[in-house]
Chains A and B, each alone.
Chain A
Amino acid sequence: MREGLEQWDYVVAALTIGVIGTLLLVGWSLAAMIRAERRRDKVRGK
């Protein structure tokens, strides 16, 4: 039983890191894209 609980600790840690890492990557890429395109439009005077 103890071993089963320990296994789930590792599973939860790995899946959390993977999911949060992926979501952070997507969020950061979108935020950087929006910022860069706004700056370009501002420079163009749009």
Chain B
Amino acid sequence: MHGFANPARFLRLARWMMPLLLVSGLLLSMGAVLYGALIVPPDRLMGDTVRILFIHVPSAWLGMAGWSTIAIASLVELVWRHPLAAIAGRAAAVPGATFTAICLITGSIWARPTWGTWWVWDGRLTSFLVLLFLYFGYIALSGAAQRDMAGGGGGSRITAIFGLVGAINIPIINRSVVWWNSLHQPPSITAGKSAIDGTFLWPLLIAALGFSLVFGGVVLARMRTLLADIQAEARLRRKAMA
């Protein structure tokens, strides 16, 4: 893993991987969403609204995966002081927040015809809204830490600690529909088992794979952006001191 601590080596890898992830991800995800919208039959109970599944569920998984990435990167940054870990954590924040917001909005739209209401303050929806606010806090904190780092401060460690502490919300989101009564359905896919019929399951898994590849491509693009910013700032500081 430390082999990729060298930014030049990482950039060589990211240059060909990023477009590959983005193109394949967009093709798979958009194809699966189109297939779900036009070809999959309506559900016996939910009717045509079941088609929202193909965008809502991958967004929910990626919202949680984004914070899991932040938590792992924070741990690696704090324990092993891997130079790219802080950048990886910060790079996952904006895509994670975007997919969390998409999940909340599409879920609310799905709830209206299914539950008869746009929103309920139950465990699942509330903990997911908290996740969005955690993302906003992390993005603000990491921006401040970057400015602080230019002045030689230790703001990056505070951001990493926030990333680790915020991870407590992930198991709460996951178990919320089991722990508390909710209008939201219990988990449909658990380890090795699925309550979803294959007609819906396969396009859902392909959509999830496609959106995950897009997420990976966006994280690599964000890492390249942050690295380029750091390198430009370092060069400007050296020029100013010379």
CB-contact partner of B214 in A7, A22, A32, A39, under 8 A: A22
Selected interface stretch from B124-132, B145-153, B179-187, B223-231: B223-231
Q: Chain A residues near B94 (CB, 8 Å)?
A: 25, 29
**With A8-B48, A29-B225 in contact, is A18–B33 under 8 Å at CB?**
yes
Q: Tally chain B residues at the interface, Cβ within 8 Å.
A: 42
A/B pair count, beta carbons within 8 Å: 105
Q: Chain A residues near B229 (CB, 8 Å)?
A: 36, 39-40
Contact residues on A (Cβ < 8 Å of other chain), bracket: 20 to 34
B 51-62 to A, binary, CB cutoff 8 A, 1 in contact else 0: 110111001000
**Contact (Cβ within 8 A) A17 B106:** yes
Nearest B residue to A35 via CB reads B225
**Contact (Cβ within 8 A) A29 B109:** no
Chain B residues engaging chain A, CB cutoff 8 angstroms: 22, 26, 29-30, 33, 37, 47-49, 51-52, 54-56, 59, 94-95, 98, 101-102, 105-106, 109-110, 112-113, 211, 214, 217-218, 221-222, 224-226, 228-229, 231-232, 235-236, 239
